[in-house]
Amino acid sequence: MAVRAIDVLRRALYVRFAFRTFVHRANAWCMFPADIRGGTTGYHRSSHSGVFMHHRLSGLVIAAATAVALAGCGSSASSDGGAETGEGGTAQVKVGVIPILDVAPLYLGEKKGFFKERGIELTLESGQGGAVIVPGVVSGQFQFGFSNVTSLMVAHSQGVPIQSVANGVASTGKDGADFGGVAVAKDSGIKSAKDLAGKKVAVNTLKNISDTAVRQSVREAGGDPKDIEFTELAFDQMPAALSEGRVEAALLVEPALSIAKAQGARVIASSFVDAAPDLTVATYFTSDKTAREHPELVKKFTEAMNESLRYADEHPDEVREILGSYTKIDAKLAESLTLPRWPTGTNRESIEKLAELGRKDGVFTKTPDLDALFR
């Protein structure tokens, strides 16, 4: 075991050195949350800090090097991106998800047997956001992942080999009645998105769809978003942060949004609606390697996911019921949640709008190839 550990360390150090020569690609993951960098999930850093960006980049190099080294030694994940095969030829598939309402169709589809009847046994593992899940998929830790489309575009534009395989979740398109929104404490002096200029606003990960959408809400309200101080916080920690005054506003999604509203928070903007009509918020994705080497697995996953999306859209009561199995929400509060839409297709125009906004805000250093990412 000691020899094995030393070998792992040597591999990690070697890969870390090699990664320095490709550091321009690492910028794709410069929105890693603190737990991946070696800090704590609740640690807040400003997105405008140069030191912050340096630490994020260093954290990426270490995390990526370790992932590659472990894969080379044969970790518990399938290092080639393919699923392990269980009894009867069942594929053991790991999916990286976020414990929010958006992924309810996946849990529901697993319960209804949509994946099992296609020979797929799911293991669902939670992460804070797409910034964490993307490297997990690329390294082979997960065969598939769930991420907001902006994080996918940032990663892909920097050469990260991923592609979308199924729709994830979409906005309702209704201002004031969406599953996500910017909320403030009940006694806050902030009355509209215009007032967010210069304020500390919580998002689940930086340089993702949340800060892009918030900026657009501020513009729509006639304000200037350039001085907003975005800070990173997990969705389930946002309600308490608002009520305790640790942040001045937060973009929350269900069920965190309903929890915050139950504590008196006020919604001042439906940022996903402001970003684009009928916005495609997130999708499920895989690595190019998995798609190339295991096309039948990808096909079956996509089919099962589409069936799950349709079922969720048609059975809202079952969505509310299953939510309690993977989030901390009581049944009574679940009844009042605003559900999103779960179409099987993505809205290309809305994705193009997000790409345009990302370029305007400097999220992308290179224009993302949407045809390659969303095939």
State the Cα–Cα distance between residues 96 and 285, nearest whole angstrom: 10
Domains of the chain: 2-73 (no CATH), 84-170+278-373 (3.40.190.10), 180-275 (3.40.190.10)
Q: What is the mean pLDDT of each run of 10 residues along the chain (375 residues)?
A: 42 38 35 33 33 34 39 42 66 95 97 98 85 90 96 94 98 96 97 96 92 96 95 95 97 95 96 96 98 97 98 97 89 91 97 94 89 93
Q: Locate tokens 């199995």: which residue?
A: 325
The DSSP-derived string for 35-93 is: HHHTS-TT----TT-HHHHHHHHHHHHHHHHHHHHHHHHT-SS-TTSPPEE-GGG-EEE
Of residues 283, 104, 70, 115, the one with CA closest to residue 179: 104
Of residues 222, 203, 205, 204, the one with CA closest to residue 214: 203
pLDDT score recorded for residue 48: 33
State the Cα–Cα distance between residues 335 and 316, nearest whole angstrom: 10
pLDDT score recorded for residue 214: 98
